[in-house]
Structure 1
Amino acid sequence: MYRHAPRLLTRAIGGGVRRSATTRAFSTDLPAAPSEDAAFVEAWRKVAPNIDPPKTPLAFMKPRPPTPSSIPSKLTVNFVLPYQSEISNKEVDMVIVPATTGQMGVLPGHVATIAELKPGLLSVHEGSEVTKYFVSSGFAFVHANSVTDIVAVEAVPVDRIDLSLVQKGLADFTQKLNSATTDLEKAEAQIGVDVHSALNAALSG
């Protein structure tokens, strides 16, 4: 019976989900989503009444933050790595992130956005003070309430990076790329070239 559960659940709630997705307008003023998908739970009870329904993404989502009636004068930034928090609830004027689509500046009142990060320079602007980090990759979550969460795999302040070592690494990986014979060697060398090129540009530009 359980093998047919996905098909039965899809038939029970799939049509309603598709219709609502096409007719519901996108807006940051929509009410927060419920913490439990009632239609899914009801369909699950019909298929497996003796088993608790599995969690859905809605169960792990926090309510949508309220959208302020006026644009705040400051942007609140959280910047975290897997092993530590670099910036926590800091009010700044602007942050510029290295998105895969190009450098993206975020100011207070920015439209809600999710941006994938590429190796590059992340700069935090607070008055005349600018703090710069080199990030390897990650995501930036810009919320409609002028809060931006930045999650990076790795990051380091640019003043801790030695330009001579970066240029040496770029030359080494370029040589490895030119002499690579297998797809794996080419891929590893290309990653090294891309990261060191971005590092070189961040330090010398």
Structure 2
Amino acid sequence: MFRQASRLLGRSSRLPRVRAMCTEVPANSNKDSAFVEAWKKVSSTMEPPQTPSTYMEPRPPTPSSLPSKLTVNFVLPYSSQLSGKEVDMVMVPATTGQMGVLPGHVPTIAELKPGVLSVHEGSDVTKYFVSSGFAFIHANSVADIVAVEAVPIDQIDASLVQKGLAEFTQKLSSSTTDLEKAEAQIGVDVHSALNSAITG
């Protein structure tokens, strides 16, 4: 009985506080409306914020018919290997497997793994070994390929590749820390891919 009375008393004592809070709302709304009016006066003189897209050139339109050629831009951090080159096809070593890119390919972003990138232009095929990077295939039949490192296959010394593969394989078997194992595994993977590129 005593508990019920204290509960009822507690509820009734809260009501005036709640009513008092409710009566304060119009005062706050007056302040809000004053702020809104002041903002309207200032905002008309302000320029809208600029975004990166404001400074970018518009993307070329998607052609209505399938183009006969694929435009390739192949760049490295220190040089441009191909710029606006029209080719028939490009094969890129994506992490999901070898990916052929033809004119009209669906827009795609693919991460590259160590392997062979081949550029097909008629009967001519130019091959590069790439270490890693990304391929951006756009809807307008443009492929932008960005690699960390790349070298034409015919400039790779097979004896140095075999030597490097043997060294990293030995390091992998003798490494004691996780960092040493990871570094050695990367060396084995890259040199194995180089070896496959030369022999295959």
Q: Same fold (TM over 0.5)?
A: yes
Provide, for residues 55-106 of structure 1, a one-character-per-residue CA deviation record: whole Å limited to 9, x for no partner: 6454465433211011111111110111111011111100000111111000
Q: TM-score, normalised by structure 2?
A: 0.74
The within-5 A match list for 1:19-30 is: none
**Is residue 185 of structure 2 the alignment partner of residue 190 of structure 1?**
yes
CA distance 1:156–1:111, shift in 2 (3 Å): same
Paired residue secondary structure (2:103):
coil
Of residues 145, 148, 154, the one that matches 1:150 is 145
2:168 equivalent in structure 1: 173
1:163 equivalent in structure 2: 158
**Is residue 72 of structure 2 the alignment partner of residue 85 of structure 1?**
no
2:129 equivalent in structure 1: 134
Question: Separation in 1 of the partners of 2:52 and 2:114?
Answer: 29
Q: Offset of 1:168 from its aligned partner?
A: 1.4
Question: Separation in 2 of the partners of 1:57 and 1:175?
Answer: 49
Question: Separation in 1 of the partners of 2:52 and 2:168?
Answer: 41
2:100 equivalent in structure 1: 105
Paired residue secondary structure (2:172):
helix
Provide, for residues 8-31 of structure 1, a one-character-per-residue CA deviation record: whole Å limited to 9, x for no partner: xxxxxxxxxxxxxxxxxxxxxxxx
1:23 equivalent in structure 2: none
Q: Offset of 1:184 from its aligned partner?
A: 1.2
**Is residue 59 of structure 2 the alignment partner of residue 64 of structure 1?**
yes
Q: TM-score, normalised by structure 1?
A: 0.72
Q: Offset of 1:171 from its aligned partner?
A: 1.0
2:14 equivalent in structure 1: none
Gaps of 5+ in 1: 1-44
Q: Offset of 1:165 from its aligned partner?
A: 1.2
Question: Separation in 2 of the partners of 1:170 and 1:102?
Answer: 22
Paired residue secondary structure (2:170):
helix
Question: Separation in 1 of the partners of 2:137 and 2:120?
Answer: 16
Q: Offset of 1:54 from its aligned partner?
A: 7.2
Q: Which amino acid aligns with 1:149?
A: D
Paired residue secondary structure (1:98):
strand
Q: Which amino acid aligns with 2:67?
A: P
Q: Offset of 1:187 from its aligned partner?
A: 1.0
How many aligned residue pairs are there?
160
Please, what is the CA RMSD of the aligned residues? Answer: 2.3
1:75 equivalent in structure 2: 70
Larger Rg: 2
Question: Separation in 1 of the partners of 2:96 and 2:57?
Answer: 28
Question: Separation in 2 of the partners of 1:173 and 1:54?
Answer: 53
Question: Separation in 2 of the partners of 1:202 and 1:56?
Answer: 44
Question: Separation in 2 of the partners of 1:163 and 1:139?
Answer: 26
